[in-house]
Chain A
Amino acid sequence: MTLMNEPIKRAEIKPKYCRFKKNGIKYIDYKDPDFLLKFINEQGKILPRRLTGTSWKFQNKVAQAVKRARHIAILPYLADQMK
């Protein structure tokens, strides 16, 4: 009986939501590294929608903003430990 799958506790899984839709944020500033840090991992990679819950529309805008920030050296293209 040890091979039984453990039951998933549905109450513990919080539903994801798009923070931009929820808070009414319409423009993502590429000049603001502190805000963009929420959408990249410690290597400087853009986090997938799967993890952040961002909607498709805003994920594209986040990606665009991160890429612009990288170009003007506000965010690194690659990093080892940035957080």
Chain B
Amino acid sequence: MSNYETVFILNPVLSEDQAKDTVEKFKKVLTKAKAEVINVEQWGLKKMAYPIQKKSTGFYNLIEFATENTGLINTLETEFRRDESVMRFLTTVLDKHAVAYNVRRRKGEFNRTKKAVTTNKRERAEA
């Protein structure tokens, strides 16, 4: 079982709802392959450091998941490439230090993602 996280940027032309639907779509790809989705974050419309596809802003999204099936990464990235609203994506494996860091990050210990809408497991249980 390895942990992964993927950051992807969606086209700013989309409406908020469309952006949410797209994120749901990728979440479904993961849950279908029996991956455990640990955390989903939407950072909202952010200004990028340089223009991509002549756009200077984009919807940033983060998904953390755990899976044993390494072929799933290929499936997910193919989906990213197929979807025209995805401007960039980056999937990384997390080592044990990164996992520990992300647990602390999710608890808000670093206080960096103030605007982020977190929908992680713990909060869903409380709601």
Contact = CB atoms under 8 A, between A and B. Distances in A.
Interface of A: 26-27, 29-34, 68, 70-77, 79
Contacts of B98: 27
Interface size of B as a range: 20 to 34
Given A29-B101, A73-B49, 7 more contacts: A26-B97, A26-B101, A31-B62, A33-B49, A68-B92, A71-B88, A73-B58
B101 A73 contact: no
B90 interface: yes
Task: Give the secondary structure class of B's interface.
Answer: strand
A10 B20 CA distance: 60
A49 to B, nearest CB: 21
A72 B9 contact: yes
A74 B49 contact: yes
Chain A facing B: main interface SS: loop
B127 interface: no
B112 interface: yes
Contacts of A34: 112
A75 B49 contact: yes
Contact of A31 (B7, B48, B97): B7
A33 B105 CA distance: 15
Contacts of B125: none
19 contacts: A26-B97, A27-B98, A29-B101, A29-B105, A31-B7, A31-B62, A32-B110, A32-B112, A68-B90, A71-B88, A72-B60, A73-B49, A73-B50, A73-B58, A73-B88, A74-B48, A74-B49, A77-B50, A79-B49
B1 interface: no
Interface in B15-45: none
